Amino acid sequence: MAVGLDQIEKMPAVHVEDLSEKDKLKMEVAQLRKEAKLQRQQVSKCSEEIKKYIEARCGEDPLVKGIPEDKNPYKEKAGCTIS
């Protein structure tokens, strides 16, 4: 059912305070159970991948290597001389 343009759909007001303590806990436990099942990787492996990703791209990163003044679109506007 399409919502007419004059009926702006309101965001359901789910204030956490409206739920009972028990309901909040039930949702929290359900969420935690899901998160506990997550497949995780070693930090060493993930860090190695982050390092490799950066090293591969660092050379082309304008803010890291700097931009020559003449190629920088934000270079100071030079004065003009009329000869």
Binding residues vs another protein (CB under 8 A): 1-3, 5, 8-16, 19, 21-23, 25-36, 38, 40-51, 53-58, 60-64, 66-67, 72-76
Closest CB to another protein among residues 60, 83:
60
Least spacing, CB of residue 17 vs another protein, in Å: 10
3-state secondary structure the chain: CCCCCCCCCCCCCCCHHHCCHHHHHHHHHHHHHHHHCCCCCCHHHHHHHHHHHHHHHHCCCHHHHCCCHHHCCCCCCCCCCCC
Instruction: Identify which of residues 62 and 79 has a Cβ nearer to another protein in the complex.
Output: 62
Taking the complex as a whole, the smallest distance from the CB of residue 70 to another protein amounts, in Å, to: 13
Shortest separation between residue 83's beta carbon and another protein, angstroms: 25
Is residue 64 within 8 Å of 58, Cβ to Cβ? Answer: yes
